[in-house]
Amino acid sequence: MKNIAIFASGAGSNAQKIIDHFSDSTIARVTLILCNKPDAGIFRIAEKENIPAILIEKDPFFRGDDYVQLLQREQIDLVVLAGFLWKVPANLVQAFANRIINIHPALLPKYGGKGMYGHFVHEAVINAGDAESGITIHYVNEKYDDGATILQERCTIVPGDTPETLAKKVQVLEHTWYPVIVERLLTNEAVSH
């Protein structure tokens, strides 16, 4: 049985889909949730699902090995970022090389980088007049939204779409594909680079 740790900063809808996907699995389970915002909805999900949840402290996260050691102690096989807004420090990236993944609500390399998340991404896509958007699931490296792509899925933007309507289309793709890709990675079915 593989162990998944989810890092989140918000409501946790992607985390919930992953938890649901593995609820009766013999392959993996979500064994730990880490969050950097004390009032985030992900804590309610963790409590409801009976999964240990930890509030990340900023200084130890960016200056030291506490979280690397925690993940190693908990025998985490895959770290899944689900709306986690901090850049993952280099020591954690190196300790879990090719075992940390993220989902971005656009087709990278467009609309990535610091500050490009959620509504900001959808607004930028709509303002640019793009004909499509989608999701990018990728490995995490030391730079924002820069790791090797695992999967991209697209949705069409139609006249009249707003950042809000685009967000709903993208969220459908996220909820459909993120749990599937997590499972494929844990069973070595996905292309690793």
Domains annotated on the chain, with CATH: 2-186 (3.40.50.170)
Distance CA 121, CA 69 (A): 33
Q: Look up residue 34 and give its amino acid.
A: L
Annotated binding residues: 12-14, 102
Question: What confidence category does residue 188 fall into, taking pLDDT thresholds of 50, 70 and 90?
Answer: confident
Question: What confidence category does residue 193 fall into, taking pLDDT thresholds of 50, 70 and 90?
Answer: very low
pTM score, two decimals?
Answer: 0.95
Distance CA 155, CA 166 (A): 9
Question: How does pLDDT run across 54-88, given as a tens digit for each residue?
Answer: 999 999 999 999 999 999 999 999 999 999 999 99
Q: Which of 104, 119, 138, 193 is catalytic?
A: 104
Please tell me the total number of residues recorded for the chain in this structure: 193
Question: How does pLDDT run across 157-177, given as a tens digit for each residue?
Answer: 999 999 999 999 999 999 999
Phi, psi of 53 (to 5 degrees): -130, 140
Q: Is 122 a catalytic residue?
A: no
Q: What is the dihedral of CA 19, 163, 109, 58, to 10 degrees?
A: -60
